[in-house]
Amino acid sequence: MKKILVANRGEIAVRVIRTCRDMGIGTVAVYSDVDRDSLHVIRADEAYAIGPAEPSASYLNIGRILRAAQRSGATAVHPGYGFLAENADFAQAVQDAGLVWIGPDPKTIRDMGDKITARETAFEAGVAPVPGATLTGDLDRDVAIAERVGFPLMVKASGGGGGKGMRIVEGAAELRSAIERASNEAAKAFGDSTVYVERAIRNARHVEVQVVGDGHGQVAVLGERDCSIQRRHQKLVEESACTALTPESRRELWSKAAALAKQVCYAGAGTVEFLLDQSGETWFLEMNTRIQVEHPVTELVTGVDLVRQQIAIAFGEPLQLNPYPRSIRGHAIECRIGAEDPTHGFLPAAGVIERLQEPGGPGVRIDSGVYPGFRVGLHYDPLLAKLIVWGRDRDHAVRRMARAIDEYRIYGVSTTLPFHRFVMRDEVFLAGDANTSFIQERMGHDSLDPAHDLALAAGLAAVLYRQEQAHALEFRPRRERKAESAWWLRHGFGRQG
């Protein structure tokens, strides 16, 4: 474990570098032209340029990343999440170059990355997938197959993710067009036009189970996370534990996740995702063969450093975790703070972070990739930071998160902080009843069709305006200052930009 190259950027690259430092391992960052002054570059021991801003020429360029690893003398590669993290060809290329790949076997990545193969593998492990069917590519036959699955249904890309190559279909009249559009979008985004259909489960909870395996059949389960608050299948708020599970259903869910991880002889940290329907039945959705954006939630309730586990397993150390956690301690919540404008349909925002005031105090953690003066562009995912809190129970965690959001100030670029402030005060969320229809039901319209963005923006603008007005009144000083001292202004407490 002499030196690890982190093939990523932003907060996840900083996160991996920190654990490497804790373990006494050297770190290598890679960066595109626009990321020259990024925080992960500053934090690493070494840094190498890998090309222009376009991801295809830099963070997705396998050859350039491997050349940086060879130049630096790195002995291993950690992919983080996104970019090449679930690219089986990249994992194989790393191993072929004589480097240690910090992740599961390339075959596992390939099999679980193909949603159709993953569904078949889950079925073999005794884990029921969401009811659905594979399409043939013959449009007339596929329409008949989809109609047998029943409406409403989802048309989904086999090799996709992140909401791309996905369409929801309410009835037969929309089916033919939805299959064609999803297939074309999948071909452009993933180079694979294969799509399948899956029953759309309304008002479900999106629950995922964290697993860690040693690649030799030993698997540990580290609880579950509820990721139901999401837009276009992009998660916005995550928490552990899930309030909708009973002790019995929790044990059953954990057993299903462990069975699938053992079926593929999983190595490293991974996540098995499920939908929990209104009857309490759980259905396998997919498996993510990487560290998740929301992994800090699990770390706070278990005390396990998941990145450290990834590294140790990749270098052949035996799994030293119990098959099931001895205890889940308290409750944790994560809010993804993105450079997006929630009052305009979560449109990406750009600009310079002029000033930054991060919250602190007991039980508050921030995983961030930005700093004052950092320029936020539009080339990459808009995630700026993750705000994570821990509390002795859910009510305590929610109050702590609400307080932390109120303390958080990012000047110079629009962020999702107002949205998160709304969520932490919403009665449905407070009751622990939020499901995947939360935004649609509470704020407007959430759809895979961009034509509905205007309705969503209008709904969000209305509720966030009311929330911000109430927040401003709540924190208004008792009497206005006639003048503000130079000290007050110099230390950032004066008029807010």
Active-site positions read 290
Residue with tokens 């996370």: 225
How many angstroms separate the CA atoms of 237 and 422, rounded? 12
Q: Which residue has the tokens 């703070």?
A: 337
Cα distance between residue 84 and residue 78, in whole Å: 10
Burial 297-332 (b: 16+ CB within 10 A, else e): bbbbbbebbbbebbbbbbeeeebebeeebeebebbb
Q: How many CB atoms lie within 10 A of CB 358?
A: 16
Single out the residue of 189, 170, 201 nearest to residue 449, CA to CA: 170
- Residue 262's Cβ-count burial label (10 Å; 0-12, 13-18, 19+) is middle
Contacts of 424 (CB under 8 A, 6+ apart): 398, 401, 402, 405
Read off the tokens for 494.
């004066």
Render the burial of 333-347: b for 16+ CB within 10 Å, e for the rest.
bbbbbbbbbbbbbbe
What token pair was written down for 258?
Answer: 């462990």
- Residue owning tokens 């240690």: 100
What is the per-residue DSSP string for 227-243? EEEEETTEEEEEEES-T
